[in-house]
Amino acid sequence: GDSVTQMEGPVTLSEEAFLTINCTYTATGYPSLFWYVQYPGEGLQLLLKATKADDKGSNKGFEATYRKETTSFHLEKGSVQVSDSAVYFCALFSGGYNKLIFGAGTRLAVHP
Amino acid sequence: DAGVIQSPRHEVTEMGQEVTLRCKPISGHDYLFWYRQTMMRGLELLIYFNNNVPIDDSGMPEDRFSAKMPNASFSTLKIQPSEPRDSAVYFCASSLAGLAGASVEQYFGPGTRLTVT
């Protein structure tokens, strides 16, 4: 079935470091891909999305490119801040199952 | 807009008791979702509604769980009887486009942290 695999956390970085969180997926067809972020004590909120191959989603300095050839949607940010500390979820919209399928989440901790 | 509202934010109950979680979706949204989040299983979709009608409840773990949506502005998730393994954070989310389109965005509530002792 459709699935999403994320790199295990926690990821610990110093402020202004470069961030990459890997995400790969398995799906039939061409799913839409998403990154959601969960700040402590809150629900998930959409960070960015891409709906077709080679699309780049971006928001708040974060970027991810839909790579069909490698079935990946890695999240990147050039310079992280302490306020970026959160759990990041990669997700796909599965047409076959007609629902969003989430990865396990990756916790990011940024230190001053 | 106030966003998706959930109550209570925290619930502690004893095994065997009935638990009711509540959700008020964003006004005008026609899809509503219930999720459960645990360390072991991650984020799981339990059930979703479209225009107050349950569409897919395949994620509901067992008959002890039930969900209703009596009107467009209110939904409940009930567990009866509750068990320690039900301890989790339960999220409600709502959306406009729902699951039918590629550009879907779900808006999540802050969650209810349930502890069953």
Model confidence pLDDT, tens digit, residues A81-90? 999 999 999 9
Model confidence pLDDT, tens digit, residues A41-79? 889 999 999 988 999 999 999 999 999 999 999 999 999
What pLDDT, on the 0 to 100 scale, is given for residue B2?
80
Q: How far is A84 from chain B (nearest CA, A)?
A: 18
Model confidence pLDDT, tens digit, residues B13-51? 999 999 999 999 999 998 899 999 998 888 999 999 989
- Alpha-carbon torsion (B96, B97, B98, B102), positive or negative: negative
Q: What are the structure tokens assigned to B76, written together?
A: 């409940």
B96/A contact by beta carbon, under 8 A: no
Going by pLDDT thresholds of 50, 70 and 90, the confidence category of residue B60 is very high
Contact A44 B102 (CB under 8 A): no
What pLDDT, on the 0 to 100 scale, is given for residue B106?
87
Q: Calculate the average pLDDT of chain B.
A: 91
Please confirm whether the linkage preceding B70 is cis (ω < 30° from 0). no
Residue pair B102/B115 in contact by the 8 Å Cβ criterion? no
A-chain residues near B107 (CB < 8 A): 45
Tell me what percent of the residues of chain A surpass a pLDDT of 90.
77
Model confidence pLDDT, tens digit, residues A3-14? 999 988 899 999
Residue pair A24/A85 in contact by the 8 Å Cβ criterion? no
* Residue A29 Cα distances to A2, A32, A44, A70, angstroms: 10, 10, 26, 14
Among B6, B43, B44, the strongest candidate for a mutation testing the A interface, having the largest count of A CBs within 10 A, is B43
Contact B42 A105 (CB under 8 A): yes
Among candidate residues B94, B114, B117, the one with its CA nearest the CA of residue B21: B114
Among candidate residues A63, A62, A105, the one with its CA nearest the CA of residue A87: A105
Within 10 angstroms of residue A72's Cβ, the number of other Cβ atoms is: 17
Q: What are the structure tokens assigned to A65, written together?
A: 């490119």
Task: Give yes or no for residue A97 having a pLDDT over 70.
Answer: no
Contact B103 A32 (CB under 8 A): yes
H or E segment and range at residue B32? strand B31-38
What pLDDT, on the 0 to 100 scale, is given for residue A64?
98
HEC readout, B38-55: ECCCEEEEEEEEECCEEE
CA atoms within 13 A on the CB side of A72: 12
**Residue reference for tokens 């004590």:** A41
